[in-house]
Amino acid sequence: IDSISLSQVKDAFHFIANRMVDSKDMLTQADQAIGDGDHGIGMARGFEAVNNMLEAKTLNNVEDVFFNTGTSLLASIGGASGAIFGSFFMGAGKALQGAEILNAAGYQKALEAGLAMVKKRGNASIGDKTMVDALEPAVDAANQYSGSSLEELAGLVAAASHEGMEKTKTFTAKIGKAKTLGERTLGHADPGAISITLIFEALKEYISS
Ligand code: ADP
Ligand code: MG
Ligand code: MG
């Protein structure tokens, strides 16, 4: 599969949103281990808002779907992750510039711009034990891909983010709520990194199905 249509992108975002809502308890437990325990609640609330937005709003192109997903997350989650995950989808959307389909080149551009926005907003680097540890390797993997299969690209992105998320278990937190726990965060994956992996895995599953 080299591309998906606008209506498939909307379906894909419902699929992603449902995956995040279903992962509420798992994400909450992950944040209970090294944070304040609200990550699952925030993400579930945010992606319920995304599901509602997808039904209610007129979305004319793929940029609209990504960008409005970002503003919905920003408005409904609050806290660190609202701004961070909102920035990711808003930055990604802008890069898509009114695209009427999502293809491999578009997904690559969107991912890169999304990461840039996240870093601008949150100032996290690799190794700080944040969602950037799952996102940046995914962007690097995407940039190394020179083929035209959206399906293959989505698989590479999902795998790289999963590997990056697993690596966060070996890091002590340098940023956010987990920072005060220091060494006690060792052995636990970063909740936001788990969320990024879930998002990319869901998109890959949708495209492959
Ligand atoms: P809060 O920390 O406000 O309770 P959440 O629990 O919903 O918010 O989200 C925590 C996640 O947000 C962390 O696991 C981390 O991945 C991500 N995060 C926090 N601060 C930053 C940042 N500055 N840059 C990137 N990601 C961040
Ligand atoms: Mg939290
Ligand atoms: Mg909180």
Atom number, ligand 1, closest to the C-alpha of residue 195: 16
- What is the Cα–Cα distance from 5 to 23, expressed in whole angstroms? 27
Query: Which amino acid is located at 76 in the chain?
Result: S
C-alpha distances out from residue 160 to 64, 78, 80, 157, 179, Å: 26, 28, 24, 5, 25
- What is the 8-class DSSP label of residue 93? H
Domains and CATH numbers, the chain: 3-208 (1.25.40.340)
Put simply, whether the predicted model's pTM sits higher than 0.95 gets the answer yes
- Give residue 168's pLDDT: 98
Nearest to 138 by CA among 208, 195, 55, 206: 195
| Token couple for 141 | 């993997």
User: Which residues does residue 3 pair with via DSSP β-bridges, in sequence order?
Assistant: 103
Condensed to tens digits (0 to 9), the pLDDT of residues 119-165 reads 999 999 999 999 999 999 999 999 999 999 999 999 999 999 999 99
Give the Cβ contact number of residue 183 at 10 Å. Answer: 8
Determine contact, residues 86/65, Cβ cutoff 8 Å: no
At 79, the pLDDT band (50, 70, 90 cuts) reads confident
In percent, how much of the chain has pLDDT > 70? 100
pLDDT of residue 184: 86
CA of 90 to the centre of ligand 2 (A): 21
Residue nearest to atom 22 of ligand 1 (CA): 122
> Which pLDDT value is given to residue 98?
97
Beta bridge partners of 5: 101
Residue 77 CA: nearest ligand 1 atom is 7
114 in contact with ligand 1, CB cutoff 6 A: no
Q: For residue 173, give the DSSP letter.
A: P
Q: Are 164 and 201 in contact (CB under 8 A)?
A: no
Which residue out of 88, 120, 131 has the highest number of ligand 1 atoms within 8 Å of its CB and is therefore the one to mutate?
131
Q: Which atom of ligand 1 is nearest to the CA of 191?
A: 14
Dist. CA 115 → ligand 1 center (Å): 14
